[in-house]
Amino acid sequence: MKIAMLISGGVDSSVALRLLKDAGHDVTAFYLKIWLEDELQYLGDCPWEEDLSYVEQICKEANVPLEVVSMQKEYWDRVVSYTIAECKAGRTPNPDIFCNQQVKFGSFYDKIDDSFEKVATGHYAQVEELDGQFILKKAPDPIKDQTYFLSYLSQEQLSRAMFPIGHLKKEAVRELAEKYNLPNKSRKDSQGICFLGKIPYREFIKEHLGEMPGDFVEWDPESSSGGEKIGGHQGHWFYTIGQRFGLGLSGGPWFVVEKDAEKNIIYLANGYDPESVYGTEFEVREMNWISGFRSQISDFELKVKIRHGAKSHPCTVEVDGDLVKVKLTEKVHGIAAGQFAVFYLPSRQAGDGDVCLGGGIIT
């Protein structure tokens, strides 16, 4: 096949490129250059020049043509502006989900012609075609699995997506990097939000929203106005539900349990597991069902992730118009408005692996 390979300079996408090349595909590599790498570089180290250097070496050794595609405007319009707006509203955004839906498997499709049958990435996920439907399945590596970040893809997008390392565990990918003697074989995995690189998230938010002094108030579930003031902060948008670090308070542990964006108040609980900050029910809006399970979804026992990671929670759901009502079978900490809930059909009901059904935004 003729394949467009999105390559970042990391080990995962580099190994994916070599696997495609070894399989005899006609591969062209694409490096996406995003806006923030230039405009806010002074906020911290932004490694795009180092990334591109690795990409050029890898493509040269594999004899794969490379194109650098500028997508600054697309990132701003579709990912960055969303992130800023959600933070300002007091919600918890997930820009990586929109990066995949809107850019990598969205506007990038418009940058290439239809002769490219597939767009490949280094994501840990698997795609299968079953009875004319494209199914998104978990990778076998529960820590690295990235289906959470791919949960907003449509059937059309998924039909063209390809994940060459999705069937592998991370240690196997590292072994392949050694086998190919890739110049980045020992490079650490990138962390953080897709468009920030090494730029601190707090500095990025400060650049766009500034500071707005407010109060830390001790959480009191019995009082509508909360407890006593215990400190100050520089803006509610710097904090997320469940956050335990960077609060700057003694006498802890303290962590964020509630935010009042209108009053600019952050409510904190003292202790590790106060009963009042756990929840068993929430609602989800703007739901994307990847493979059309919406009509019969209430018949299944599902699992849900409320953040990226290996941990998922058993649940049942009820579809009520445009809302999905979720009931957990166990109490869960850190359910945050704006964050994504992503649903899975466990392997005992789905065959040989957990199926990602799709996701939506927690209200």
CA distances (Å), origin 11, targets 18, 51, 172: 11, 11, 11
Count CB-CB contacts under 10 A for residue 279: 14
Whether the predicted pLDDT of 296 surpasses 70? no
Q: Which CATH number goes with the domain that contains 253?
A: 2.30.30.280
Does a structural domain hold residue 316? no
Average pLDDT over residues 42-51: 63
Are residues 183 and 66 located together in one domain of the fold? yes
- What pLDDT does residue 70 have? 87
- Same domain membership, residue 185 and residue 81: yes
Does residue 18 sit within a domain? yes
Calpha distance 119→27 (Å, rounded): 10
The one catalytic residue in 46, 59, 87, 194 is 194
Q: Say which residue, 55 or 291, is predicted with more confidence.
A: 55
pLDDT at 291 over 60: yes
SS3 at position 277 = helix
> What is the average pLDDT value for the chain, to the nearest integer?
87
pLDDT at 5: 98
The per-residue DSSP string of 151-215 comes to TT--HHHHHHEE-TTTTS-HHHHHHHHHHTT-TTTTPPPP-S-TTTTTS-HHHHHHHHH----EE
Q: How many domains does the chain have?
A: 2
Instruction: Give the residue with greater pLDDT, 230 vs 200.
Output: 230
Mark which of 272, 295, 321 sits at the end of a domain.
272
Q: Which of these, 235, 231, 246, lies nearest to 206 by C-alpha position?
A: 235
Partnered with residue 327 across adjacent β-strands are 281, 316
pLDDT value at residue 183 = 94
3-state secondary structure of 37: helix
Indicate whether 153 pLDDT > 60.
Answer: yes
- 3-state SS assignment for residue 336: coil
176, 68: one domain = yes
Q: Residue 141 falls within a domain, yes or no?
A: no
Task: Check residue 306 and give its pLDDT.
Answer: 93
Q: Tell me which residue range forms the domain holding 51.
A: 2-122+164-202
Q: Which of 127-131, 172-176, 185-189 has the highest mean pLDDT?
A: 172-176
Write the pLDDT tens digit of every residue in 240-251.
Answer: 888 888 898 988
Query: What pLDDT, in 10s, does the model give residues 181-216?
Result: 999 998 887 766 666 666 678 888 898 899 999 999
Residue at 311 is within a domain: no
Same domain, yes or no, for 184 and 64? yes
Which tokens is 335 given? Answer: 């359910």
Q: Is the pLDDT of residue 361 over 80?
A: yes
30 and 84 fall within a common domain: yes
Question: Does one domain contain both 175 and 101?
Answer: yes
Which residue among 220, 237, 272 closes a domain? Answer: 272
Task: Determine which one of 59, 99, 315, 356 is catalytic.
Answer: 99
Q: How much is the pLDDT for 191?
A: 63
Which residue type sits at 358? Answer: G
Two tokens, residue 262: 């209108």
The highest-confidence range among 102-111, 219-228, 347-356, by mean pLDDT, is: 102-111
DSSP 22: H
Q: Does 51 share its domain with 115?
A: yes
Is the model's pLDDT at 79 over the cut of 70?
A: yes
63 pLDDT above the threshold of 70: yes
Confidence of residue 309 (pLDDT cuts 50, 70, 90): confident
Query: Would you say residue 68 has pLDDT above 60?
Result: yes
Give the pLDDT confidence of 313-348 residue by residue, as tens digits: 999 999 888 899 999 999 988 888 899 999 998 865
Look up the pTM and report it: 0.89
| pLDDT above 90 (res 273) | no
The mean per-residue pLDDT over the stretch 6-14 comes to 93
> For position 112, which CATH number holds?
3.40.50.620
Question: What's the mean pLDDT in 353-363?
Answer: 90
Determine the average pLDDT of the residues in 124-141.
Answer: 93
Question: In this predicted structure, which of 114-118, 148-152, 293-297 has the lowest mean pLDDT?
Answer: 293-297
- 194 is known as an active-site residue: yes
| Annotation says 59 is catalytic | no
